[in-house]
Structure 1
Amino acid sequence: MGTHIERRPRGVVVLTVDHPPVNALPVQGWHELAEALNSTGADPQTRAVVLQAAGRGFNAGVDIKEIAADPGHTKLVEVNHGCYAAFKAVYECPVPVISAVHGFCLGGGIGLVGNSDIIIASEDATFGLPEVDRGALGAATHLSRLVPQHTMRAMFYTGRSVTAQQLLHFGSVWQVVPRDELTAAAVALAEEIADKDPLVVRKAKESLNGIDPVDVNRSYRFEQGFTFELNLTGVSDQARAEFVHNGPKKES
């Protein structure tokens, strides 16, 4: 369990997140991922990063059961700091980050891929933000980087997901491939980038972040404030308890 770092030839690094059964990350998992990204990006030998996951899906967000088991709000505060750190680490990684997404990409997973430079998805990949059903808010900042504004709002309010093919249509997914070709496709693209001059690519990443119209770190932090506010009302505790006992709601 954890985030595994595999250094491949030509300066490509593959980070694989593995938290069975569904890659719903606990507090420690988010910080481990952030640390892996930070250390990998700081290595001058790294030219491109592929972020992928083992198991049934790319990411199921935060570990709701860990938060629900905490009688106070300590775990909630900690996991929000962990998510912030991981999303920031993806965005500020000095080299391009390619997310290779299979299965479900939910909640915090949207924060990771939304802050990635490039997304390659398998044919079975779906993307959604079920935060409203969990009594939480957040990552609309990152969903807005994947879909148009009104689609984002509809997805956010309803909790519905979209497919990889839909994101391909919107232009936010670079390529959709069969599941068994996902890692190879992501690594091939990473190698293409890695063959460029490394200083130019690092400066390109820095310059692209510099011209972004939205400060994603500040925008997400603003969203988190409303999650804290909802928790003070008690509605979030109720939503988490319902999730723990009944599981996720089905999309209509």
Structure 2
Amino acid sequence: MGVSVSRPEEGVRVVTVDVPPVNALPVQGWYDLADAVRTAGADPGARCVVLAAEGRGFNAGVDLKEMQRTPGHTALLGANRGCYAAFAAVYDCEVPVVAAIQGFCLGGGVGLAGNADAIVASDDAVFGLPELDRGALGAATHLARLVPAHLMRTLYYTSRTVTAEELRAHGSVWRVAPRAELRAAALELAREIAAKDGALLRLAKAALNGIDPVDVRRSYRFEQGFTFEANLSGLADRHREAFVASREARG
């Protein structure tokens, strides 16, 4: 369990997150993920990285229970910085990153997927930002890379989710596969990318990041300031406590 890196075939590295029960990452988990992605991308033999997960869903965001049981703002600051590091590691990875998404991709999961170079998703995958329901703000920067502006705002305000098929219609998901075939589908795309010259792929990644119209690091950092404001005002605690209590009541 935790974060691991494997080498299933030449040129491809797979970073896998396995943090039961729902891949909601504690503070250290975000830093571990950032380190794994950076290490995989810096490997001279790597030409493509697949970001995947085990379990029910790809990622459920931040571990809110850790945040609620930690006094003061230590966990909040850690989660903010850890998420920032993990999202940036995906975006700045030296080689292309293919995200393999199954089940739920929520909150921080959207941050990871939105910063990936390509997305392959299972037919049961859903994407969304339930941040307002949980007393937080953030990752609109990344959702905006997946859907048009007005849909992004509607999803953000309502906390609704969007399916992989819907994202494919918007052009942000490359392929939708049956869940049992997701890993194979992601590796197929990674293999095609990894067949290219590694030095050229690194130049291409740097060039494409350089022409992005939005600086995702600065944009996301701006959003995080409002999350901290919600915490200082007491809004965030009320919503997080209600969410954690409802989860515990459901067992």
For 2:50 and 2:41, locate their aligned partners in 1 and report how far apart those are by CA, in whole Å.
12
- The two structures have a TM-score, normalised by structure 2, of 0.98
For 2:7 and 2:120, locate their aligned partners in 1 and report how far apart those are by CA, in whole Å.
20
Q: What's 1:118 paired with?
A: 118
For 1:211 and 1:74, locate their aligned partners in 2 and report how far apart those are by CA, in whole Å.
36
Q: CA deviation at 1:215?
A: 0.2
Q: CA deviation at 1:247?
A: 2.8
For 2:61 and 2:146, locate their aligned partners in 1 and report how far apart those are by CA, in whole Å.
17
Q: CA deviation at 1:149?
A: 0.4
* Root mean square deviation of aligned Cα: 0.9
For 1:34 and 1:160, locate their aligned partners in 2 and report how far apart those are by CA, in whole Å.
28
SS of 1:8's equivalent?
A: strand
Aligned pairs, number: 248
Deviations 1:135-155 (A, max 9, x none): 110000000000000100000
Q: What's 1:67 paired with?
A: 67
For 1:9 and 1:71, locate their aligned partners in 2 and report how far apart those are by CA, in whole Å.
45
For 2:120 and 2:188, locate their aligned partners in 1 and report how far apart those are by CA, in whole Å.
11
Q: What's 1:178 paired with?
A: 178
Q: CA deviation at 1:85?
A: 0.2
For 2:177 and 2:9, locate their aligned partners in 1 and report how far apart those are by CA, in whole Å.
23
For 2:91 and 2:2, locate their aligned partners in 1 and report how far apart those are by CA, in whole Å.
20
Q: CA deviation at 1:9?
A: 2.0
Give 1:82-93 correspondences, 5 Å limit. Answer: 82-93=82-93
Q: What's 1:102 paired with?
A: 102
Query: Percent identity between the aligned chains?
Result: 65
Deviations 1:195-231 (A, max 9, x none): 1111111101100000000000000000000000110
Structure 1: gaps (5+ residues): none
Q: What's 1:31 paired with?
A: 31
Q: What's 1:193 paired with?
A: 193
Q: What's 1:57 paired with?
A: 57
Q: CA deviation at 1:42?
A: 1.1
Q: What's 1:218 paired with?
A: 218
More deviation, 113-122/8-17: 8-17
For 2:43 and 2:53, locate their aligned partners in 1 and report how far apart those are by CA, in whole Å.
22
One-letter identity of the residue aligned with 1:237: D
CA contact (8 A) 1:10 1:195 kept: no
For 2:236 and 2:78, locate their aligned partners in 1 and report how far apart those are by CA, in whole Å.
16
CA contact (8 A) 1:122 1:164 kept: yes
Q: CA deviation at 1:105?
A: 0.2
Q: What's 2:148 paired with?
A: 148
For 1:74 and 1:221, locate their aligned partners in 2 and report how far apart those are by CA, in whole Å.
17
For 1:85 and 1:216, locate their aligned partners in 2 and report how far apart those are by CA, in whole Å.
12
One-letter identity of the residue aligned with 1:118: A
